[in-house]
Structure 1
Amino acid sequence: MTSSPKRPLTVSLDPADIDRIEAAVASGDFTSASEVVEAALSLWAGTNTDRDFDRRLKAAYDKGKASGPPRELRLPDLLRDLKSAG
């Protein structure tokens, strides 16, 4: 995967956030403040993906609950139905 050229961006942060970024770089965990921000954005993107999955899972659960009472399902019957549908 190739990455796009990086562009500069100026942001204003609280002193506590700046201290955390500088501490992460000073500890050697990151080589630059940009790397810290990139890691944070990556985690944030993952959180958004997780939230989207949770929303879709809840919608599927709600749809299943609304479809009526549960019924017994036997594996051979399921496999037969899948083969005939496919």
Structure 2
Amino acid sequence: MRRSVAVRQGFFRRSRNLGFMGMTAPAHLGGAGAEYVSYTFALMEVVAADGALLTINWIQNSLILSGILKDGNPAQQERLLPRLIAGTTIGPLR
């Protein structure tokens, strides 16, 4: 169990350092402000290494972040997105 948690934490830390977390989120919230073509190319690189990690990254960026960007109010976005983009909060988990 400890190894599994360490692997996940390491993955999200590396993803953040490479700019994969929150690629399409606005820069003022900590994202890269990239368009979806660049994001797709980044996902292709991740899937070449590990499909399971791609799934985790895709859920974090495509489902959770985009949902908050689309439907969240500004206060929710400012409260939630920086932590999600930093990889300190993973999806609905703390």
What interval of TM-score do these two structures reach, taking the shorter chain for normalisation? under 0.3
> What TM-score do the two structures reach when normalised by structure 1?
0.27
Answer with 1 or 2: which has the greater Rg. 1
> What TM-score do the two structures reach when normalised by structure 2?
0.25
Which structure ranks higher in relative contact order (CA pairs < 8 Å, sequence separation ≥ 6)? 2
**Between structures 1 and 2, the one with greater helix share:** 2
